[in-house]
């Protein structure tokens, strides 16, 4: 099943997060994709509470988590949160390696690799973000950059089963928050490349080639209800990671409804 995940970034107080999650959950009962909610960590317990109340025993169906983690269980790391803390708060997933973390907070691909490992070992589904800048694209280096991010990010994942739990998000940096989205063809091209690289990685780990539905690759970058159907109908696009448009229940649900029910 495709995934439509909302990255709320640094938006919404606890009360606002509760309200937004309720509005989304109310409207999401009849949508086909699996939804994901990534509020600021302070609001995660409140959102978990709403999800459990509304979705009951289907609440595990919702991907829920933080936007970052630190790769240690606990310790003197002021300002950070860990995988066990996210789990204890009711989360089942975490965003890792978002380009804002890489660009504003200086996270390297090797550090992101530690985080992907920490997420998997901590029982969380990592939504592992990769993507090139505009300069890198214009220099013809898109696949080299994305390939390097993938290799470093996944280097510590050593079991095919663990690799299958990682969700990749392809987010071209030039499309994030800019209103300028990748064309469906541009997205498809990079998604197909990522799927091929993942196939090689499975083989290197001694695993069978992944089934088509075993590896999820989401697109992110200015996804809106109006452009979602074209992007999501590409054969290798398995869903979306949505920033700005996830802050409004109607636009987030509009993207969910634009998601084709098959293919
Ligand atoms: P955007 O953000 O939808 O606002 O472009 C996407 C993201 O950063 O995940």
What residues line ligand 1, using a CB cutoff of 6 Å?
7, 171, 176-177, 220-223, 241-245
Measured in Å, residue 222 CA sits from the centre of ligand 1 at: 6
Summarised one tens digit per residue, pLDDT across range 235-249 is: 999 999 999 999 999
CB 84 within 8 A of CB 122: yes
Q: Which atom of ligand 1 is nearest to the CA of 221?
A: 5
| Residue 18: HSE in the Cβ half-sphere, 13 Å Cα cutoff | 9
- For residue 214, the model assigns a pLDDT of 78
Summarised one tens digit per residue, pLDDT across range 32-74 is: 999 999 999 999 999 999 999 998 888 889 999 999 999 999 9
For the chain, give the mean pLDDT: 95
Nearest CA to ligand 1 atom 1: 243
pLDDT (mean) for 132-148: 97
Measured in Å, residue 223 CA sits from the centre of ligand 1 at: 7
255's enclosing H/E stretch is: helix 249-257
Where is pLDDT greater, at 138 or 263? 138
What is the set of active-site residues?
A: 98, 171
Place of tokens 């290197």: 204
Is pLDDT of 263 > 80?
no
Nearest CA to ligand 1 atom 6: 243
Nearest CA to ligand 1 atom 2: 243
Measured in Å, residue 244 CA sits from the centre of ligand 1 at: 6
Q: Which two three-digit tokens encode residue 222? A: 């200015």
């Amino acid at each position: 099943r495709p995934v439509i995940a909302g990255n709320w970034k640094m938006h919404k107080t606890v009360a606002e997060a509760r309200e937004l999650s309720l509005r989304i959950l109310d409207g999401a009962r009849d949508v086909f994709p699996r939804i994901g909610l990534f509020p600021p960590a302070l609001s995660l317990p409140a959102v978990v509470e709403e999800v459990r109340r509304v979705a009951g025993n289907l609440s595990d169906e919702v991907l829920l988590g933080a936007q970052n983690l630190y790769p240690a269980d606990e310790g003197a790391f002021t300002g950070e949160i860990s995988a066990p803390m996210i789990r204890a708060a009711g989360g089942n997933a975490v965003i890792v390696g978002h380009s804002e973390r890489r660009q504003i907070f200086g996270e390297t691909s090797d550090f992101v690799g530690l985080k992907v490992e920490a997420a998997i070992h901590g029982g969380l589904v990592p939504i592992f973000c990769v993507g090139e800048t505009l300069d890198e694209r214009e220099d013809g280096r898109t696949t080299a950059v994305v390939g390097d991010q993938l290799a470093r990010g996944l280097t510590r994942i050593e079991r095919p089963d663990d690799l299958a739990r990682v969700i990749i998000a392809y987010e071209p940096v030039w499309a994030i928050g800019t209103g300028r989205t990748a064309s469906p063809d541009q997205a498809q091209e990079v998604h197909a490349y990522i799927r091929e690289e993942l196939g090689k990685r499975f083989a290197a780990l001694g695993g069978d080639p992944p089934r088509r539905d075993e590896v999820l690759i989401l697109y992110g970058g200015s996804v809106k209800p109006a452009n979602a159907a074209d992007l999501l109908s590409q054969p290798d696009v398995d869903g979306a990671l949505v920033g700005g448009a996830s802050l409004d229940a109607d636009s987030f649900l509009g993207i969910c409804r634009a998601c084709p029910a098959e293919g």
